Amino acid sequence: MMKKSKTSVFLLAPFLIVVLIYELLPLGQLVLNSFLQKKNHTITLEYYIRIFTTPVYLQAIQNSIRISLISALIGLSVAFFAGKAYFESDGKLKQFFYLVLNMTSNFSGVPLTFAFMILMGNTGVLTLLLQKTGLGGDFNLYSGNGLLLVYIYFQIPLATLLLLPAFLGLKKEWREAATILNASSFSYWWKIGIPNLLPSILGTFVCKRLGCLCNGVCVDFE
């Protein structure tokens, strides 16, 4: 028995060491530092008070929450209809769509931002096209709304991928029963489909908002 637990410790050690050095210690230090007054080493809530009373920080937090809320809501709505359409269709297109979802969800950061700059930046292809045809408004990619657009773009594939498994949980019999009871397609989704998907939708929503709050690349640029 003694020997057994020795092997266990020995085998667990590399994982624990790596995680401790590169995940737990840095995070712990980050949390600790946020409560520590640097000059005289006392515990303080000063930094937190400052964040919530300084207009610049407050504005930054508000902006983050606004963008993450709106983009997650829009991303999820599109993901819902995309998921529905995915299970109603079949064949090559379905496979291709799945491939596109996977590819674009892995693709973010600098390349994505650059692609959007080419498409809709100040001299972007779409911007010029809209100006020439006289349809162009005064859309500016390097603004809050521009940032929102990029976020919505990269929310859609991820949200759809996360929602697809939930659609598998909707049983065919429910749909049949609803049809027999004379329910319209809308009332089926409103009263049966969506309530059953809700746990996954909310999970995806929280996940997406987290991702949004923590993702910094696109913000750096804009």
Partner 1 sequence: MKKKKKKASILLLLLLCVYLLLPFAVTLVYSLFTEWTGILPSGFTLRNYKLLFFDAEFWMSLMRTMLICIISVVASITTLLLAMYVVVVEYPFLAKYIQFICMIPYALQGVILSISIVSLYSGTGTLFSNRMLMLFGAYGVLVLPYIFQGIRNNINAINTQMLMNAAKMLGCSPLKAYFKVVVPNILPGIFVSSLLSVSVIFGDFVLANNIAGNSYQNIQVYLFRKLSISSGLSSAVVVVIFLMVFLMTGMVLLLQGIHQKKEKNNGVYRD
Q: What is the DSSP letter of 181?
A: T
Using CB under 8 A as the binding rule, whether residue 8 contacts partner 1 is answered as yes
| Interface map 159-178 toward partner 1 (x if CB under 8 A) | --------------------
CB 75 within 8 A of CB 155: yes
Using CB under 8 A as the binding rule, whether residue 51 contacts partner 1 is answered as no
Using CB under 8 A as the binding rule, whether residue 18 contacts partner 1 is answered as yes
Nearer to partner 1, 54 or 102 (CB): 102
Using CB under 8 A as the binding rule, whether residue 82 contacts partner 1 is answered as yes
Using CB under 8 A as the binding rule, whether residue 89 contacts partner 1 is answered as yes
As a whole number of angstroms, the distance between CA 10 and CA 160 comes to: 42
As a whole number of angstroms, the distance between CA 64 and CA 81 comes to: 26
As a whole number of angstroms, the distance between CA 83 and CA 94 comes to: 11
| Interface map 203-222 toward partner 1 (x if CB under 8 A) | -------xx--xxxx-----
Answer for which of 106, 135, 138, 173 binds partner 1 (CB under 8 A) is 106
Q: Segment 25-44, which members bind partner 1 (CB under 8 A)?
A: 25-27, 29-30, 33
Residue 50 Cβ vs partner 1, minimum distance, rounded to whole Å: 18
Q: Give the count of residues interacting with partner 1 (CB under 8 A).
A: 67
As a whole number of angstroms, the distance between CA 144 and CA 219 comes to: 10
Residue 114 Cβ vs partner 1, minimum distance, rounded to whole Å: 5
Nearer to partner 1, 24 or 65 (CB): 24
36 beta partners: 43
Q: Segment 108-167, which members bind partner 1 (CB under 8 A)?
A: 108-112, 114-116, 118-119, 123, 125-126, 128-129, 132, 153, 156-157
Q: Which residue, 154, 160, 42, is CA-closest to 94?
A: 160
Up-side HSE of residue 31: CA atoms within 13 Å toward CB?
5
Using CB under 8 A as the binding rule, whether residue 63 contacts partner 1 is answered as no
Let me know how many helices (H) and strands (E) the chain has, helices first. 12, 0
As a whole number of angstroms, the distance between CA 182 and CA 176 comes to: 10
Q: What are phi and psi of 197, to 5 degrees?
A: -85, -15
Q: Which residue, 115, 106, 123, 103, is CA-closest to 149?
A: 115
Binding site residues, partner 1, CB under 8 A: 4-5, 7-8, 11-12, 14-16, 18-19, 21-27, 29-30, 33, 78, 81-82, 84-86, 88-89, 93-94, 96-104, 106-112, 114-116, 118-119, 123, 125-126, 128-129, 132, 153, 156-157, 210-211, 214-217
